[in-house]
Structure 1
Amino acid sequence: MSLQARLQRRIQRYGWDLAADAYEFLWQQQLSAAHRQLLLLAAPLPGESVLDVASGTGLIALTVADLVGGTGHVTGVDISERMVEAARQRAAALGLDNVGFARMDGEQLECADATFDLVICALGLMYMPDPEQALREFHRVLRPGGRVALAVWGERRNCGWSSVFPIVDAEVSSEVCPLFFQLGHSGALTALCEQAGLVGVAEQRVTTPLHYADAEEACDAAFVGGPVAMAWSRFDEATRRRVQQRYVESISQWRQGDGFRVPGEFVLMLAQKP
């Protein structure tokens, strides 16, 4: 493993630990359209065994637990311990006993071969230093005929919030994910899936606006509960005010009254293990 890859994983782990408390409040509604469409593609069935990689606070896993029912089981894994703990607490509050969560690296899954009927990874693959290795792992843990359902952010030009990265990088090298939007290019995800040995690959795009009630909520989603949370935690107050102002200016074209309607794009993928 390269030094750069180790650094990126460390930033992801501790960055999402910092974002965990705010993530669900700031992002559940914004991601709901992509999540709904991904679940339609994945079509979890009663009795199936499902792995949810980069599970976060369990937004996908807990819904899938209902769909697979008492005869099925869902395992949610995430690199962030605090995200995993939040997901466990949500599952306990809902009284779900067919779902479990563990801290785990999506590129090195601690799961036996041919264990799952379905692997889901919603908006996690872009953060991994080696997404092709992650897809090989997804292939490995699937049973023959099992499905992989993926979602990544689309092209940078179609994601209005993407200005957060250069704004933060102008202050400090955030090292979040150098290839973040490359998986959103047409055919990029298809090529990775095929290289990992998956077949029947079907790719589709979903465009949906991200609604924010005001500038504070838009900034919190971008900085506090998102991928640059670790860099944000190290900024002093003057730097925070400066980057907030620049970000609000960058999304000002999508202002509606006090709020914002920022464009978003997702790429969804369904593939199968032969």
Structure 2
Amino acid sequence: MSAQKTQHEVAQVFNQVAAGYDHAALRFFPFAADRLIMHLHPVSGTKILDLAAGTGAVTLAAARAVGPQGRVSAVDLAENMLDRLQEKIVKFGIRHVDLHTMDAAALDFRRDYFDYTVCSFGIFFLPDMVAGLREWARVTRPGGRLMFTAFAESAFQPMMDLFLRRLERYGIRSPDPDKPPAGMRLADPARCRELLDAAGLVNIDVTTEQLGYHLKDESEWWDVLWNSGTRGWIEKVPRAELESFRAAHLAEVRPLCNGQGLRLDIATHFAGGDKPPAPSSR
């Protein structure tokens, strides 16, 4: 599959789920956004680029961090996501955020412009992650920092394995069975380090944190699947069989619930590196 077609399909899925992306079951997005900005520790008045911004969890956290003297540029391929973010910007009267429908792998920004570049749970959708990071470094100033988040190996387990096996019973498999699903491409923290190093970044740091919580029950697990990138898999199930698929999957998830509900593991890597300083001229 061509890179262009892949990106088109990603945009299509996220346009589809935009209306439900802020569902309470998916509260790990704002949790991760707050932690990402805490790790980044941006200086007030600086410029931040937020890639794969979605409905703006990181964008809004970044806007608070840099204050009205700073600037945040939010980029996403899915226009419906940015429409939702625009509604929030208007609602809260935020004036220092700019929205751009743009491919994160081919940015229309000048070199060395942003003080910080971040991407939360989006880098693994890029066909070529190293090339993407190099592009992000291009628009970041020398000495500026790049950071991304990615799901660790235990995230969404064991429910995700049950979901994928259920899909296989319907003949739905990854186009490349030798490769993990997009969200698991960076499950190994060593792979995060390798990417940052290959992109020419320095002072690399990768830390892993658990951002999990309890869902009310298995029905909220379906809310997670239906309102996120996994919707693309669900849409491959024949419409006439979707309800039976849902019922069968939730029946196998139900025994995992306890008195507190259903535990949702959100082990998350926070990976970052600095763009090397410009060579000193003599």
| Partners of 1:179 and 1:84 in 2: CA distance | 22
Q: Radius of gyration: which is bigger?
A: 2
The structural deviation recorded for 1:174 is 6.1
Query: Which deviates the most, 102-111 or 160-169?
Result: 160-169
2:111–2:139 CA contact under 8 A, matched in 1: yes
The structural deviation recorded for 1:88 is 1.0
| Partners of 1:97 and 1:165 in 2: CA distance | 43
Please say if 1:182 is aligned against 2:179. Answer: no
SS of 1:256 mapped into structure 2: coil
Query: Which deviates the most, 97-106 or 232-241?
Result: 232-241
Q: Which residue, 96, 104, 125 being the options, matches 1:106?
A: 104
Q: Which residue, 146, 153, 159 being the options, matches 2:156?
A: 159
The structural deviation recorded for 1:220 is 1.8
1:51–1:74 CA contact under 8 A, matched in 2: yes
1:8–1:175 CA contact under 8 A, matched in 2: no
Q: Which residue, 200, 206, 217 being the options, matches 1:214?
A: 217
Letter in 2 for 1:130: D
Change (3 A) 1:207 1:236: same
Letter in 2 for 1:105: D
Change (3 A) 1:34 1:137: same
Structure 1, gaps ≥5 residues long? none
Q: Which residue, 178, 182, 204 being the options, matches 1:201?
A: 204
Letter in 1 for 2:230: V
The structural deviation recorded for 1:235 is 3.8
The structural deviation recorded for 1:252 is 3.8
Higher helix share: 1
TM-score (normalizing by structure 1) = 0.90
| Partners of 1:268 and 1:211 in 2: CA distance | 22
SS of 2:269 mapped into structure 1: strand
SS of 1:183 mapped into structure 2: coil
Please say if 1:69 is aligned against 2:67. Answer: yes
Structure 2, gaps ≥5 residues long? 277-282
Query: Which deviates the most, 57-66 or 240-249?
Result: 240-249
The structural deviation recorded for 1:256 is 2.2
| Partners of 1:51 and 1:140 in 2: CA distance | 12
1:17–1:83 CA contact under 8 A, matched in 2: yes
| Partners of 1:79 and 1:210 in 2: CA distance | 29
Change (3 A) 1:109 1:165: farther
- Which structure 2 residues correspond to residues 16-55 of structure 1 after superposition, within 5 A? 16-26=14-24, 28-55=26-53
SS of 1:102 mapped into structure 2: strand
The share of aligned pairs that are identical, in percent, is: 23
| Partners of 1:18 and 1:267 in 2: CA distance | 27
SS of 2:144 mapped into structure 1: strand
| Partners of 1:258 and 1:178 in 2: CA distance | 29
RMSD: 2.2
Q: What is the total number of aligned residue pairs between the two structures?
A: 270
